[in-house]
Structure 1
Amino acid sequence: MPAERPWFHSAVVYQIYPRSFQDSDGDGIGDLRGVINRLDHLATLGVDVVWLSPIYRSPQDDNGYDISDYQDIDPTFGTLADFDELVAKAHERGIRVVMDLVVNHTSDEHPWFVESRSSKDNPKRDWYWWQPPREGFEAGQPGAEPTNWHSFFSGSTWQLDEATGEYYLHLFSRKQPDLNWENPQVRQAVYAMMRWWLDRGVDGFRMDVINMISKELPLRDGEPIGDGPWGDGSPSYICGPRIHEFLQEMHREVFEGRGDALLTVGEMPAVTVEDAVLFTDPARHEVDMVFQFEHVGLDHGEHKWDRRPLQLVELKESLGRWQEGLAEVGWNSLYWNNHDQPRAVSRFGDDGEFRVESAKLLATVLHLHRGTPYVYQGEELGMTNVPFQDATAFRDIESVNYYEAATGQGLLVEEVLDALRLGSRDNARSPVQWDASPHAGFTTGVPWFPVHPNYPTVNAEHALADPDSVFHHYRRLIELRHADPVVAEGDFTMLLPDDPVVYAFTRSLEGTTLLVVANFGGTHHRVDGLPDAEEWAGAELVLGSYPESATAPGPTDGSIVLRPWEARILRRTA
């Protein structure tokens, strides 16, 4: 093992979705001054990095992931002066600030696109993907789209521009046209913008769907999806032919010569372990770590809205394969939650009787893997999914579009609502619950999204006062990663891979071994088949998800019996 490892190996990142974090001016929408006012919460938790979801100027079609000006703050969130103060005050507390870089696409209101669509011979026409109608069709006819690709937000990826009679590509919303990274002028404009933020004091970027910026040419139809008109275009834009070239160029143009203190995270849907090794190999100078989605797709059936119970054996196989694949070269992001995922305690745990215990268990399992853990706002409080009453309760464009498309195809309304309640991104976007005052202390006004009704008991004020809360368990896990090199750098060995209830593994480094055992079930469970079980039964308890876990009931032979949703970390030293 090298004498020095990158700083982010022992770091923990906290993601803030500013709209829902803290409102400072009573307009019901979170803002940068609200983040400043809550920095002490993050300092108490002990996190090293804050990642801000987009705060750029935006029409907010996709909650800020549609950017109309990369070098300004949306008035909803404040000003550049507010941002500068946030960076300075975070740095005073030893917290780095990472921006969300959204450069696969812009807003259709960005000046670049306004120019691009103004005429076929505009100098910026080639900054985006413009195509004439399919041969043999007239513009606007069904089937005239240049390819059959299906958008992530339903319908076609192509939008007809009536003025010029051509279609532009949008993998996401029609108001999010894809940039053409084949054009070197586009790339240089993006790199200049990134340097501008770094010069302002930003500590790095989380790069949204960055593995989609290279498209395979010529653009062609994808394999049909079911019996409908749409096809899967992802083979043409997931990890396209020039993706490594583009990221290496970005590193040279933006990051080279700025030292090792910055952080670059590539969000990469559908990336493989083998791809991730290439992207994160330090010698290749691309990104520091990937943000991948394999494990959060395991409870999907044929598609995202077709939900099935998580199988623990499948989860272990997936996470274990990523641990093994990146053991020698590369690095991974570790997460259960983010702004695009339902709340983990509702999804993978028990958000009823064992909410606290299962939230602690999920944190323990995740944070003891090798990689950089991410905490999404409210996760450290054990916040849960939202009890949506009907279709009018959903705000997210993906959810709204799915409801309209699914009911329009004849699916039963209640079936569609059940799927949305489980999988909607809105679950992650309810306001953070700070205290038991009206609107959970998030705002003095009317919140843009209703506060979860459980806020009187699930809130930060209550959690900080309770030494056995989910919050303090997260704080202890973060302290452990900072203090014990085995957590950041130790070898990973999966145990009991076929056990459907127990998640168990070891981390080992220089004579010290940690054992993590976790009961993903609602009843007492005896751990059978553990190597050296008799030795582990008497090992030092480092941290447990129950108070006084060392006194948990067990048989006279000394083997380990775990209580419902209990996790323990044990240590042995050679």
Structure 2
Amino acid sequence: MKPIIKSFLFSALILFTTESTIAQNMSVKMTQKNDPKWWKEAVVYQIYTRSFKDSDGDGVGDLKGIISKLDYVKSLGIDAVWLNPIYTSPNDDNGYDISNYREIMKDFGTMEDFDLLLKEMHKRGIKLVMDLVVNHSSDEHEWFKQSRSSRDNKYRDYYHWWPAEKGKPPYRWSFFDVNSDAWKYDGQTNSYYLHYFSQKQPDLNWENPKVRYEVYDMMKFWLDKGIDGFRMDAFQFASKDTTWPELPKGYEKNIIKYYGVGPHLHEYLQEMNREIFSKYDIMTVAEGAGSSPEDAMQFVDPDRKELNMAYHFESVDIGKHLKDFGLVKYKEIFSRYDEAFKDKGWLSIFLANHDQPRMVSKFGNDTTEFREISSKMLSTFVMTMRGTPYYYYGDELGMVNIRFNSIDDYHDVDTRNKYIGLKNKGGDLNGFLEGQKQTSRENGRTPFQWDDTQNAGFTSGKPWLKVNPNYKTINVEAQEKDPNSVLNYFRKLVQLRKKEPTLVYGNYTLLDKENPNVYAYTRELNGKKLLVLLNFTDKNSPYKIGIPVAKSKIILDNYPNTKQLNNSMLRPYEAIVLELKK
């Protein structure tokens, strides 16, 4: 063989080997970090059915109402809808107390309506994720009716019972109970039952395998209908330490640590994965994922075969308003979670849901002057962070807190029971109501604002919850006509995320860490680098990022007609996304 040919073949072998090694390395990285999945690339839109659209004039949103507005939902560009519970329920906690897991609540329609909704969503390329509430049931569920009927009933061990002859059960704090005691005495069998939430929400006993397999069978019922996933409500509390140890004083201030992620929770999830999840291509996420990124990873590490997405609360449990918490601390939360999940696992990104006040009222500025621009800035944040974005209905319009003045305006069991408990103790009721104007869950549950007709076009009857009076100016119809509206800016953001895989899978790097006003970061993938700059204040705010940006391309700015980036200053609530030159 001639030397030149030998040299060529040797070089080709080296090149082939090198490319093979690179390909293998890229494959490993892709598998661990950027393994493409539909639920990673999806934008999830949460619909609170009761408040979205009423089709029959009874004042309550329903499934036919959602069907009538699916073209609007599709126009947002979203990929999946998460529905709050629509199962049969006496509505002590707005559907989170379920009395029949295989029926549709009459207020919302029928199973035929559900089947049509699912068909019409799939026809439009929209996936459906359902809420799964199985830490507890309603006390009107047949299981509990049987369980409380006698101590030897076959359903007795479906719930946690404590016989009164053993004395009072060990104190446990309740989220919604007036007296803050999670053990409720039931005279029928001279026993106490456990309820971490309302008295009408007795906790299921997941120690009992019969309970678990009843739940798995119910999940299969819905998945075989064709739904695309579950968001599991309060499931971090499903496993209890049934030795009922005495807990330290003040433990309710760190409730996840003492109540959540019990001794067998991960065993239950792994069993659930084997029995159900592994057999379907679905999205699975549990509400709450421990008290740290390390806890959260336990739920979604692919090697553990549990869930595929973590949904934690640290980013929303910050008090009344972000400005009181501080942006530097806020950046630290997101950066800490991103660092923990940079190589495996997956996160959800959100600023609002049905248990939170309105996004712009908590994290932005809902005054007339800054509502629109700060709402756009917050949407930019949600859509440019790594993780699956969850977006709450109405936030695409910049809907704000309603701020009720009277307890009579509230329906929420949490607010009403806290008010009663405070009243019984002679507490400051006016101060409590003033605080609820900013923090109450009811702020995020007011009817969707479709137009400027009576009741914002939500219903022809009396709405179950008051409509925000600002619907005359904040509504879909008005914003459809304005190319610079909050709604149309949201649509641009969704499209940007869809065409830029860098925003889905790219590395996240925090910049200007100690800046108290500006959140700056880059997203980088396959040599492409995007810079995101967000001003979280109503002042012109300087920033120092140490990156040359003079020749960078502006991809999106929430101020219209922006031609050039100011190299050192952002305008009030400005959000800008740039593609950096190599």
Bin of the TM-score, shorter chain as denominator length? over 0.9
2:459 aligns with: 443
- The whole-number CA distance in structure 1 between the counterparts of 2:290 and 2:301 is 18
Indicate yes or no: 2:172 matched with 1:149. yes
- The whole-number CA distance in structure 1 between the counterparts of 2:505 and 2:176 is 39
Seen in structure 2, the aligned counterparts of structure 1 residues 156 and 231 have a Cα distance that, compared at 3 Å, is farther
User: In the TM superposition, what is the alpha-carbon distance from 1:231 to its structure 2 partner?
Assistant: 9.2
Q: Which moved more, 1:39-48 or 1:266-275?
A: 266-275
1:297 aligns with: 317
SS in 1 for 2:554: strand
Q: Is the 8 A contact 2:164 2:191 kept in 1?
A: yes
- The whole-number CA distance in structure 1 between the counterparts of 2:56 and 2:242 is 49
SS in 1 for 2:510: strand
1:468 aligns with: 484
Q: Which has the larger radius of gyration?
A: 2
User: In the TM superposition, what is the alpha-carbon distance from 1:467 to its structure 2 partner?
Assistant: 1.0
2:348 aligns with: 333
SS in 1 for 2:276: helix
Indicate yes or no: 2:202 matched with 1:177. yes
Q: Which moved more, 1:72-81 or 1:270-279?
A: 270-279
User: In the TM superposition, what is the alpha-carbon distance from 1:211 to its structure 2 partner?
Assistant: 1.3
TM normalised by structure 2 equals: 0.91
- Which runs of structure 1 show a deviation greater than 6 angstroms over 4 or more consecutive aligned residues? 230-233
Pairing partner for 1:112 from 143, 146, 155: 143
2:335 aligns with: 320
Seen in structure 2, the aligned counterparts of structure 1 residues 493 and 235 have a Cα distance that, compared at 3 Å, is closer
Indicate yes or no: 2:254 matched with 1:271. no
Seen in structure 2, the aligned counterparts of structure 1 residues 153 and 277 have a Cα distance that, compared at 3 Å, is same
Matches within 5 A, 1:519-538: 519-527=535-543, 529-532=544-547, 535-538=548-551
- The whole-number CA distance in structure 2 between the counterparts of 1:210 and 1:358 is 33
Q: Which moved more, 1:108-117 or 1:285-294?
A: 285-294
1:567 aligns with: 575
Deviations 1:127-184 (A, max 9, x none): 100012384x4xxxxxx3x121110114111111111110000000000000000000
Pairing partner for 1:505 from 521, 527, 541: 521
1:550 aligns with: 563
2:552 aligns with: 539
Q: Is the 8 A contact 1:12 1:47 kept in 2?
A: yes
- Which letter does structure 2 place at the counterpart of 1:248? Q
SS in 2 for 1:550: coil
Matches within 5 A, 1:123-202: 123-133=154-164, 135=166, 137=167, 144=168, 146-154=169-177, 155-202=180-227
User: In the TM superposition, what is the alpha-carbon distance from 1:270 to its structure 2 partner?
Assistant: 4.3
Seen in structure 2, the aligned counterparts of structure 1 residues 134 and 466 have a Cα distance that, compared at 3 Å, is farther
Structure 2 gaps, min length 5: 1-28
- Which letter does structure 2 place at the counterpart of 1:569? V
Q: Is the 8 A contact 2:256 2:291 kept in 1?
A: no
Seen in structure 2, the aligned counterparts of structure 1 residues 410 and 549 have a Cα distance that, compared at 3 Å, is farther
Seen in structure 2, the aligned counterparts of structure 1 residues 90 and 500 have a Cα distance that, compared at 3 Å, is same
2:56 aligns with: 25
1:212 aligns with: 237
1:383 aligns with: 399
Deviations 1:378-415 (A, max 9, x none): 01110000131222111100001111222333332221
Q: Is the 8 A contact 1:222 1:231 kept in 2?
A: no
Pairing partner for 1:237 from 241, 254, 259: 259
User: In the TM superposition, what is the alpha-carbon distance from 1:549 to its structure 2 partner?
Assistant: 2.4
- The whole-number CA distance in structure 2 between the counterparts of 1:133 and 1:238 is 26
Q: Is the 8 A contact 1:222 1:235 kept in 2?
A: no
Seen in structure 2, the aligned counterparts of structure 1 residues 181 and 495 have a Cα distance that, compared at 3 Å, is same
User: In the TM superposition, what is the alpha-carbon distance from 1:300 to its structure 2 partner?
Assistant: 5.8
2:116 aligns with: 85
Indicate yes or no: 2:383 matched with 1:367. yes
User: In the TM superposition, what is the alpha-carbon distance from 1:572 to its structure 2 partner?
Assistant: 1.5
1:45 aligns with: 76
User: In the TM superposition, what is the alpha-carbon distance from 1:351 to its structure 2 partner?
Assistant: 0.4
User: In the TM superposition, what is the alpha-carbon distance from 1:25 to its structure 2 partner?
Assistant: 0.3
User: In the TM superposition, what is the alpha-carbon distance from 1:269 to its structure 2 partner?
Assistant: 5.8
2:106 aligns with: 75
User: In the TM superposition, what is the alpha-carbon distance from 1:523 to its structure 2 partner?
Assistant: 1.8
Q: Which moved more, 1:59-68 or 1:457-466?
A: 457-466
Q: Is the 8 A contact 1:537 1:560 kept in 2?
A: no
Deviations 1:429-474 (A, max 9, x none): 1000001111000001110001000001101111121111111121
User: In the TM superposition, what is the alpha-carbon distance from 1:237 to its structure 2 partner?
Assistant: 3.2
User: In the TM superposition, what is the alpha-carbon distance from 1:266 to its structure 2 partner?
Assistant: 1.0
Q: Is the 8 A contact 1:54 1:64 kept in 2?
A: yes
- Which letter does structure 1 place at the counterpart of 2:304? R
1:140 aligns with: none
SS in 1 for 2:271: helix
Indicate yes or no: 2:375 matched with 1:355. no
Seen in structure 2, the aligned counterparts of structure 1 residues 234 and 337 have a Cα distance that, compared at 3 Å, is closer
SS in 2 for 1:340: coil
**When you count helix as a share of all residues, which structure comes out higher?**
2
Pairing partner for 1:345 from 360, 363, 367: 360
Q: Is the 8 A contact 2:551 2:581 kept in 1?
A: no
1:398 aligns with: 414
- Which letter does structure 2 place at the counterpart of 1:455? Y
Report the identity percentage: 46
- The whole-number CA distance in structure 1 between the counterparts of 2:89 and 2:199 is 14
User: In the TM superposition, what is the alpha-carbon distance from 1:423 to its structure 2 partner?
Assistant: 0.8
- Which letter does structure 1 place at the counterpart of 2:276? V
- Which letter does structure 2 place at the counterpart of 1:175? K
Deviations 1:54-109 (A, max 9, x none): 00000000000000000000100000000000000000110000110000000000
SS in 1 for 2:563: helix
Q: Is the 8 A contact 1:149 1:221 kept in 2?
A: no
Q: Is the 8 A contact 1:149 1:233 kept in 2?
A: no
- The whole-number CA distance in structure 2 between the counterparts of 1:191 and 1:285 is 16
- The whole-number CA distance in structure 2 between the counterparts of 1:308 and 1:104 is 34
SS in 1 for 2:316: helix
- The whole-number CA distance in structure 2 between the counterparts of 1:537 and 1:562 is 15
- The whole-number CA distance in structure 1 between the counterparts of 2:196 and 2:262 is 14
- Which letter does structure 1 place at the counterpart of 2:48? Y
Seen in structure 2, the aligned counterparts of structure 1 residues 134 and 377 have a Cα distance that, compared at 3 Å, is farther
2:30 aligns with: 2
User: In the TM superposition, what is the alpha-carbon distance from 1:235 to its structure 2 partner?
Assistant: 4.3
User: In the TM superposition, what is the alpha-carbon distance from 1:551 to its structure 2 partner?
Assistant: 4.4
- Which letter does structure 2 place at the counterpart of 1:381? L
- The whole-number CA distance in structure 1 between the counterparts of 2:417 and 2:476 is 34
1:409 aligns with: 425
- Which letter does structure 2 place at the counterpart of 1:431? P
SS in 2 for 1:548: coil
2:94 aligns with: 63
User: In the TM superposition, what is the alpha-carbon distance from 1:361 to its structure 2 partner?
Assistant: 0.5
- The whole-number CA distance in structure 2 between the counterparts of 1:43 and 1:431 is 20
User: In the TM superposition, what is the alpha-carbon distance from 1:257 to its structure 2 partner?
Assistant: 2.8
Q: Which moved more, 1:450-459 or 1:209-218?
A: 209-218
User: In the TM superposition, what is the alpha-carbon distance from 1:367 to its structure 2 partner?
Assistant: 1.4
Seen in structure 2, the aligned counterparts of structure 1 residues 462 and 407 have a Cα distance that, compared at 3 Å, is same
2:272 aligns with: 250
User: In the TM superposition, what is the alpha-carbon distance from 1:524 to its structure 2 partner?
Assistant: 1.6
- Which letter does structure 1 place at the counterpart of 2:184? Q
SS in 1 for 2:294: helix
Q: Number of matched residues?
A: 548
